[in-house]
């Protein structure tokens, strides 16, 4: 072979390899394994300068997770009180989330799981749904299946570290090929990935190997069903499209309360908020939220809190005179607090009008004893292999009659409700319950002689 021919062959090979490298990084196939390319910590800057819709799988080194020293039966729900005195502020309200606080479980775990299982069984795609890849003239978006699979393995690593007395795992034997995404193993550190995980409190055991026999949407939805059996949070997986927007491509939404997945799945982040009539979203939140999602790194998870008021039916024995079991009777016995869907506040779930929460007629049983503070703890983190953003929603219900007995809380909550602008008041359904609730809170505040806490303090 002559020198000239050798040079030509080497040059052609170099051009081919360069072209292949660029093409692999621009690939937006529906298969996430083709969508991402493995990069090390040193190469993370690639994701800062990526094209919209692209993501390069990262090898992320997780910090140590502090183990919870108590069994779940001894862990009380965190008493979030995300309301303040004074003028109402519309902001994203995010703060840094310690990794050890990503998933919160507590003594209500077993009850929550009964409600979640009921919702998965009876609501179908309203509870668990994964979309395939979308490709049309305006945008290409990856499907949610691979992100769902990654999330299952993330939880399988996190939960036994955080709650060692509540979860048991087995790992794949050494030598068995490790499941991976984008060339990055679905395990933390140098260990083999988790094979099975068992929730001690419920006795439910899940074999993650079943995911290897499934494809695309089927794999993603099975992953989401496993997720519902492990945690008390609902999750939405947001994936960036080629237009730079983030789309709701997969969800495990068992405890929505005020919204239905069927109304939001597949929508872009801004459309979700606009169609839901979120007050002043365009003016106050849209630009900052879009920038935040675009720039969010893998190593900086965040958290925020939100709250609403809801009404629930009074406690009573559920009578059933029919020979056949009735679904509504079963639901009332499993979920008397209307955790899964707040029918007393929004009306029947199947006839709910999207964007019109708190629209049910006033319940005849409206009273302080049937009003609840519905508090949401919302977390955001980016998955390292697929780049999807996990939106976690942990819901807490607190009885107003118990809440008002906490020092200073009645006065502070009453001040917060009165501070809502009219559009916020409509969004939060103030007209429905304000007369009864504010009278009750004012009476408790008067017993304390006014504020019992420093005004302006904002404990979560």
The residues facing 237 across adjacent strands are 250, 390
Q: Is residue 20's pLDDT more than 90?
A: no
Of the candidates 256, 303, 216, 306, which has an alpha carbon nearest to the alpha carbon of residue 264? 256
Cα–Cα distance list, 188 to 63, 96, 224 (Å): 10, 22, 20
Q: Which range is least confidently modeled, 119-123, 190-194, 313-317, 433-437?
A: 313-317
Please give the full DSSP string across 197-241, using - where no structure is assigned: EEETTTTEEEEGGGGGG--HHHHHHHHHHHHHTT-S-EEEEEEEB
At residue 360, the pLDDT reads 86
Residue 57 confidence class, pLDDT cut points 50, 70, 90: very high
Read off the pLDDT of each residue in 366-379 and give the average, rounded to a whole number. Answer: 96
pLDDT tens sequence across 224-241: 999 999 999 999 999 999
Q: What span, in angstroms and rounded, lies between the C-alpha atoms of 132 and 220?
A: 9
Please give the full DSSP string across 30-46, using - where no structure is assigned: SSHHHH---B-GGGTHH
pLDDT tens sequence across 314-326: 976 444 444 555 5
At residue 316, the pLDDT reads 62
Please provide the average confidence, as pLDDT, over all residues in the chain. Answer: 86
Tell how strand 194-199 and strand 204-207 pair up: antiparallel
Of the candidates 332, 356, 150, which has an alpha carbon nearest to the alpha carbon of residue 235? 150
pTM of the model: 0.86
Read off the pLDDT of each residue in 36-49 and give the average, rounded to a whole number. Answer: 67
Read off the pLDDT of each residue in 287-306 and give the average, rounded to a whole number. Answer: 90
3-state secondary structure of 246: strand
Residue with tokens 């990503």: 102
Q: What span, in angstroms and rounded, lies between the C-alpha atoms of 196 and 202?
A: 15
User: Which H or E element spans position 389?
Assistant: strand 389-399
pLDDT tens sequence across 124-134: 999 999 999 99
The residues facing 134 across adjacent strands are 141
Count CA within 13 A, CB hemisphere, residue 117.
Answer: 12
pLDDT tens sequence across 85-104: 888 777 667 899 999 999 99
At residue 105, the pLDDT reads 98
User: Which has more pLDDT, 450 or 212?
Assistant: 212
pLDDT tens sequence across 329-363: 677 889 999 999 999 999 999 998 887 778 888 89
Q: What is the distance of C-alpha 118 from the center of its chain?
A: 19
Q: What span, in angstroms and rounded, lies between the C-alpha atoms of 266 and 134?
A: 9
Q: What is the token pair recorded at 91? A: 């902001």
Q: Which range is least confidently modeled, 18-22, 227-231, 258-262?
A: 18-22
Exposed/middle/buried for 420, CB within 10 Å: 0-12, 13-18, 19+? middle
% of the chain surpassing 90 pLDDT: 66
Q: What span, in angstroms and rounded, lies between the C-alpha atoms of 337 and 276?
A: 24
Q: Are 142 and 36 in contact (CB under 8 A)?
A: no
At residue 23, the pLDDT reads 34
% of the chain surpassing 70 pLDDT: 84
At residue 1, the pLDDT reads 47
Q: What angle do CA 98, 57, 230 make, to 5 degrees?
A: 50
Q: What span, in angstroms and rounded, lies between the C-alpha atoms of 299 and 36?
A: 18
Q: How many residues does the chain have?
A: 460
3-state secondary structure of 427: helix
Of the candidates 315, 349, 310, which has an alpha carbon nearest to the alpha carbon of residue 332? 315
Q: What span, in angstroms and rounded, lies between the C-alpha atoms of 85 and 456?
A: 5
Read off the pLDDT of each residue in 197-211 and give the average, rounded to a whole number. Answer: 97
The sheet carrying 167-171 orders its strands as: 167-171, 194-199, 204-207
Q: Write the DSSP symbol of residue 193.
A: P
Q: Write the DSSP symbol of residue 86.
A: S
Q: What span, in angstroms and rounded, lies between the C-alpha atoms of 155 and 103?
A: 9
Of the candidates 310, 289, 300, which has an alpha carbon nearest to the alpha carbon of residue 238? 289
Q: Are 159 and 183 in contact (CB under 8 A)?
A: no
At residue 456, the pLDDT reads 42
3-state secondary structure of 67: coil
Q: Is residue 2's pLDDT more than 60?
A: no
Contacts for 397 with CB less than 8 Å, ≥ 6 apart: 310, 337, 339, 372, 373, 374, 375
The residues facing 205 across adjacent strands are 198
Q: Are 373 and 307 in contact (CB under 8 A)?
A: yes
Contacts for 208 with CB less than 8 Å, ≥ 6 apart: 152, 153, 156, 179, 193, 194, 195, 196, 197, 226
User: Which H or E element spans position 333?
Assistant: helix 327-334
């Amino acid at each position: 072979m002559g020198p000239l021919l050798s040079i030509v062959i080497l040059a052609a090979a170099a051009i081919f390899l360069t072209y292949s490298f660029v093409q692999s990084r621009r690939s937006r196939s529906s298969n996430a394994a083709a969508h991402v390319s493995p990069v090390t910590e040193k190469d993370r800057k690639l994701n800062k300068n990526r094209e919209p819709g692209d993501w390069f799988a990262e090898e992320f080194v997780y910090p140590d997770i502090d183990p919870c020293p108590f069994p779940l039966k001894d862990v009380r729900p965190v008493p979030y009180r995300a309301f303040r005195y004074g003028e109402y502020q519309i902001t994203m309200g995010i703060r840094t989330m310690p990794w050890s606080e990503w998933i919160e479980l507590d003594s209500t775990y077993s009850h929550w799981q009964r409600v979640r299982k009921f919702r998965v069984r009876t609501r179908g795609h309203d509870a668990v749904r994964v979309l395939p890849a979308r490709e049309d003239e305006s945008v290409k978006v990856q499907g949610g299946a691979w992100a769902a699979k990654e999330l299952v393995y993330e939880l399988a690593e996190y939960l036994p570290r955080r709650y060692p007395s509540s979860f048991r795992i087995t790992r794949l034997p050494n030598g068995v090929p490790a499941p991976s995404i984008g060339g990055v193993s679905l395990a933390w550190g140098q260990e083999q990935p988790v094979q099975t995980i068992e929730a001690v409190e419920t006795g439910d055991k899940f074999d993650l190997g079943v995911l290897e026999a499934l494809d695309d949407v089927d794999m993603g939805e099975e992953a989401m069903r496993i997720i519902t059996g492990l945690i008390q949070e609902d999750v939405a997986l947001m994936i960036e499209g080629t237009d730079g927007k983030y789309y709701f491509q997969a969800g495990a939404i068992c405890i929505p309360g005020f919204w239905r997945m069927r109304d939001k799945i597949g929508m872009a982040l801004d459309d979700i908020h606009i169609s839901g009539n979120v007050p002043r979203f365009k003016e106050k939140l849209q630009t900052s939220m879009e920038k935040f999602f675009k720039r969010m790194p893998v190593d900086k998870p965040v958290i925020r809190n939100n709250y609403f008021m809801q009404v629930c039916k009074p406690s009573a024995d559920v009578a059933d005179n029919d020979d056949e079991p009735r679904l509504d009777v079963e639901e009332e016995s499993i979920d008397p607090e209307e955790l899964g869907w707040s029918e007393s506040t929004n009306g029947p779930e199947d006839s709910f009008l999207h964007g019109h929460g708190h629209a049910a007629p006033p319940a005849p049983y409206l009273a302080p004893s049937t009003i609840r503070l519905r508090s949401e703890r919302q977390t955001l983190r980016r998955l390292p292999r697929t780049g999807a953003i996990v939106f976690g929603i942990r819901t807490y219900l607190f009885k107003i009659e118990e809440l008002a007995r906490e020092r200073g809380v009645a006065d502070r909550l009453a001040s917060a409700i009165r501070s809502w602008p009219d559009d916020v008041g409509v969004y939060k359904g103030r007209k429905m319950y304000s007369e009864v609730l504010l009278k009750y809170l004012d009476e408790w505040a008067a017993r304390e002689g006014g504020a019992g806490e420093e005004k302006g303090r904002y404990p979560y």
